[in-house]
Structure 1
């Protein structure tokens, strides 16, 4: 509910209200509102009036408009450098230490934690997979990632030594909320990574890490995903520092790389025409696969989901090492394969996998770090991302996949921002 002067507003989401007011009321479950132009009255299910303060939304009006772009999705892809910069720099002190305002995890708290669950749905789940990689790599804490709709039904072991991290753009995803409540009931500490201030997930969490993506209008998530990744890396670094398991030199090296990410994403976006041309050549291809190893496969999952969501192509993503266990049977002349090859220690294995699918007639588009001449000898086409630390490449390698999905959807004449059968906030089980 939006509060104005001599006018009040009702909408299903915040962006619809930004042209009219920044002052909002949160309406809880089982409440109803009596709205007139001069007053807002909120009642619970017992007809008791509720006293409630408004909160001020900091998003600007322009961020909820297309600003000359043909679709919100393309605009939001191009807004990623800004979102990444904001998410990073709003958490940095002058001495480059990470401040997690709203998160009170002390060294004693972290020493008590013996298990972390990251729970989410869809794109946020894929961000959680990268989060697991980052936390285990930098902080040395075991992490399990669960799809929210499955988490509570397998009766996972959760107690007061468990940290439960909920990831959600909207903060209203019902499956994530249900999993959060189950973990809370069992005694877990709840940390949420959300984009919408005042959302249900944030209100029911012990600690909240807000991303700074701004309003995301397109159903297919892009900038919310990359800012979730940035948040996960910052949480992992913070945990590593608090636990004392990361040297100053290593911390400064990783942080320096993170600071360079927004400009590197801009660099990838400048090559927009490459992806448009590739999409024009491949938009009728009904057999598309994504593969990678280590954290690259987590990005492959997201690339495949983006393509499915908005192009309606039945694409698949697999760990490259699993090819020989069944999926290679689907390779044939003309199959399109995206091979993510950004992990130096696994590069030779990826080269072998590329050769395997090419031998069956696949057309391979590799995503690799700049300066990699070897991969040009085996892939049919290479999309280069700026060179950098292997662990942080998900922040860059996903961008070409987002652009490819976007341009394929446009070429197929689909409604990019509102793909069929999908909703931005999934509030039903």
Structure 2
């Protein structure tokens, strides 16, 4: 969600800024812009189209400069429109970009209007630009330190002044921001990926930091205004990760990368041990008596799946909470609970806030399942398991989800072992099954041609139901989420046993009902639920195992997965649901990788 790139250099920074924006497109955005210090003046270009359109505008206007800032915006305050796009100016002296939400913007706006400032946008960001200008004393670094003390909410900002060439000041609170260090040039960005190919020397700013970027120095002060040293890390954010190759969309590419992503996530694991999750994990796992999982969206469904695994294998009670709800209700804290956060980016604002809330209630045993080793989530948690999905560009999560499931199954086994509930024979059997996952996934991906035929029928529908039972109910939820995210078809998922308690009223001949039907202990119950659908004229689309004895017939369409995969079946059964959503979106002509109104990394509440 939103992207920032800023640069101070002895060369024209325009290509660096625009390339950085391109690398941040995967986050999702509805407008973009760039501002430069050119011949003692501020100049900018903004667009409500793609970065490629902005690039064309910049080339046409011959904009170039040694100091600049750029931004991709996902609207929070004010509609997607050019006048609301960043960067924002204040009286042609201050240029500023901002990620986050300023909660006291109305109060500040009124104060600044009374001081004679005119607002051209509906954004909270323009308030910050005018506030910095209003407080400006000739030293931008000192001014920004004073100005951010007036802000309530979350922000990552980058700002420069026409009066101070070769200087950019940036600050963060509740929204990620990194510094890129170069030779005679320095950078700020919201993601190291933005600077891939420009520098691999990265500083991760901490909460409350303000940074002064000049040609030959990077100066950082903390929230108290004290000068601090932050570690410079070498980060290889390979640009090849965001190249499409032979695929039509990133989502398709990432679906087909799942065998490799699972293999990488499990690489080097020859046995189960708590230390896979960090030093001290053994003692923590021995102490805890329950698990609290905090997550949002697709990661929340991964947590729901893990609940079945952990309670079944490790015999430890599990609560799974939507992170954005958890911190706003009265809950009963358990200091002996393991708090597990799940996040692809590790910067999800709601999940970070929920984690801090849990710690504030005395729950200090924390662990994260995350795809970004350098993220805030990893830094905030005592223990971690880093999935190795690689960069996920498509907004609709695919390989991040399946690698989360793989990591959560490992966590299940480690918890079971620490409690003395995993025999050597069971450990060997589970590890053997996990090692076979990449090959099993390849076999599932081979079903794509059959799924394409179903997608043609789905593309003409506006509603769909998804059914699952037991451990596959969260997979049905994930399938429905994927369909609505990228096709805009209204889709809902239910535990199949709940059909009689309301959803059955929706079933007609026009209602496709997708059923996740592995050959497990609940298969006969699920068959009865399917008969309830057929009796009302509903069309069944069934993903079954090879040995589940569900036959195709009138109104019953069946695709068989190559094998029954037992407890790990959710990792396989979600893949055809991803393919169904992808090909349905393709048939409907929607923007697969950048669905409307959504962003990849949700860094505001």
- The answer to whether TM tops 0.5 is yes
| Deviation of 1:29 (Å) | 2.6
Q: TM-score, normalised by structure 1?
A: 0.94
1:186 aligns with 2:361: yes
Name the residue aligned to 2:568. Answer: 392
Equivalences for 1:189-338 in 2 at 5 Å? 189-338=365-514
Name the residue aligned to 2:291. Answer: 116
The range that moved more, 63-72 or 210-219, is 63-72
Quote the Cα distance in structure 2 between the aligned partners of 1:99 and 1:379: 51
1:176 aligns with 2:354: no
- Correspondence for 1:69 among 230, 233, 247: 247
Quote the Cα distance in structure 1 between the aligned partners of 2:530 and 2:554: 7
| Deviation of 1:101 (Å) | 4.8
1:31 aligns with 2:209: yes
Quote the Cα distance in structure 2 between the aligned partners of 1:255 and 1:237: 10
Quote the Cα distance in structure 2 between the aligned partners of 1:248 and 1:4: 51
8 Å CA contact retained: 1:103, 1:208: no
- Correspondence for 1:162 among 337, 340, 361: 337
CA shift digits 1:234-258 (9 cap, x unpaired): 0001111122111111111111111
8 Å CA contact retained: 1:220, 1:417: yes
Q: 3-state DSSP class of the match of 1:374? A: coil
Structure 1 residues 332 and 7: CA distance shift in structure 2, 3 A: same
Quote the Cα distance in structure 2 between the aligned partners of 1:139 and 1:96: 13
1:55 aligns with 2:55: no
Q: 3-state DSSP class of the match of 1:154? A: coil
CA shift digits 1:151-188 (9 cap, x unpaired): 12222222321110011111111111111011111221
Q: Which stretches in structure 2 are left out of the alignment for 5+ residues? A: 1-178
Quote the Cα distance in structure 2 between the aligned partners of 1:191 and 1:426: 20
1:20 aligns with 2:198: yes
1:86 aligns with 2:264: yes
CA shift digits 1:34-53 (9 cap, x unpaired): 23444333333444332111
8 Å CA contact retained: 1:354, 1:379: no
Higher Cα Rg: structure 1 or 2? 2
Structure 1 residues 333 and 89: CA distance shift in structure 2, 3 A: same
Aligned residues: 426
Quote the Cα distance in structure 1 between the aligned partners of 2:237 and 2:302: 23
Which structure shows the higher helix fraction?
1
CA shift digits 1:94-153 (9 cap, x unpaired): x576751525222x5334212210010000000001111111111110001010011122
Structure 1 residues 33 and 109: CA distance shift in structure 2, 3 A: closer
Quote the Cα distance in structure 2 between the aligned partners of 1:153 and 1:221: 26
Quote the Cα distance in structure 2 between the aligned partners of 1:422 and 1:285: 22
The range that moved more, 380-389 or 403-412, is 380-389
Name the residue aligned to 1:339. Answer: 515
Structure 1 residues 378 and 86: CA distance shift in structure 2, 3 A: farther
Q: 3-state DSSP class of the match of 1:403? A: helix
Q: Which stretches in structure 1 are left out of the alignment for 5+ residues? A: none
Quote the Cα distance in structure 2 between the aligned partners of 1:376 and 1:293: 20
CA shift digits 1:403-423 (9 cap, x unpaired): 111111122211111111111
Quote the Cα distance in structure 1 between the aligned partners of 2:310 and 2:551: 30
RMSD: 1.8
Structure 1 residues 182 and 324: CA distance shift in structure 2, 3 A: same
CA shift digits 1:27-76 (9 cap, x unpaired): 22322332344433333344433211122334533112212322111111
Structure 1 residues 96 and 102: CA distance shift in structure 2, 3 A: closer
Quote the Cα distance in structure 2 between the aligned partners of 1:397 and 1:314: 21
Name the residue aligned to 2:41. Answer: none
Quote the Cα distance in structure 1 between the aligned partners of 2:550 and 2:459: 28
CA shift digits 1:309-359 (9 cap, x unpaired): 111111000000000000000000121111111152111111111111112
Structure 1 residues 38 and 412: CA distance shift in structure 2, 3 A: farther
Quote the Cα distance in structure 2 between the aligned partners of 1:99 and 1:66: 36
